[in-house]
Amino acid sequence: DTAVSQTPKYLVTQMGNDKSIKCEQNLGHDTMYWYKQDSKKFLKIMFSYNNKELIINETVPNRFSPKSPDKAHLNLHINSLELGDSAVYFCASSQRQGTSYEQYFGPGTRLTVT
């Protein structure tokens, strides 16, 4: 069984649209994350959630909003998409809060904004 899954794997959309990326983990972890990997391959953390509570919110535009219906899911909603949002978005989870715990990553969602 897949530990951390994301849907869709590919997403192509036009500027100005609103889209969501879903993430689910079946590891029973307390903390989930969203990362953005840009064209230069750097991964930058966007959000993390611990038991439905936002604990890190890096300087991302407020067009991006994480939504966690339960501990196993952390979805990413993006409003008014821009060309610069094109990237690969990774969901991850860890057993508990804190970067000492290993993070398990999903397969990524490649978002292309045209």
Partner 1 sequence: KNQVEQSPQSLIILEGKNCTLQCNYTVSPFSNLRWYKQDTGRGPVSLTIMTFSENTKSNGRYTATLDADTKQSSLHITASQLSDSASYICVVRGSNYQLIWGAGTKLIIKP
Q: Considering the rule CB under 8 A, would residue 59 count as an interface residue with partner 1?
A: no
Nearer to partner 1 (CB atom), residue 85 or residue 106: 106
Instruction: State the nearest-atom distance from the C-beta of 90 to partner 1, in Å.
Output: 5
Token pair of 51 as six digits = 């038991």
Instruction: State the nearest-atom distance from the C-beta of 114 to partner 1, in Å.
Output: 21
Residues between 18 and 47 that touch partner 1 (CB under 8 A): 40-45
Instruction: State the nearest-atom distance from the C-beta of 65 to partner 1, in Å.
Output: 20
Q: Which distant-in-sequence residues (6+ apart) come within 8 Å of 28 by Cβ?
A: none
Token pair of 104 as six digits = 């398990």
DSSP state letter for 101:
S
Element (H, E) at 68: strand 64-70
For residues 21-58, one letter each, b for 16 or more C-beta atoms within 10 angstroms of the residue's C-beta and e for the rest, the string is: bbbbbeeebbbbbbbbeeeeeeeebbbbbbeeeeeeee
Q: Considering the rule CB under 8 A, would residue 12 count as an interface residue with partner 1?
A: no
Q: Considering the rule CB under 8 A, would residue 90 count as an interface residue with partner 1?
A: yes
Residues that bind partner 1 (CB under 8 A): 4, 40-45, 48, 55-56, 90, 92, 97-100, 102-103, 105-108
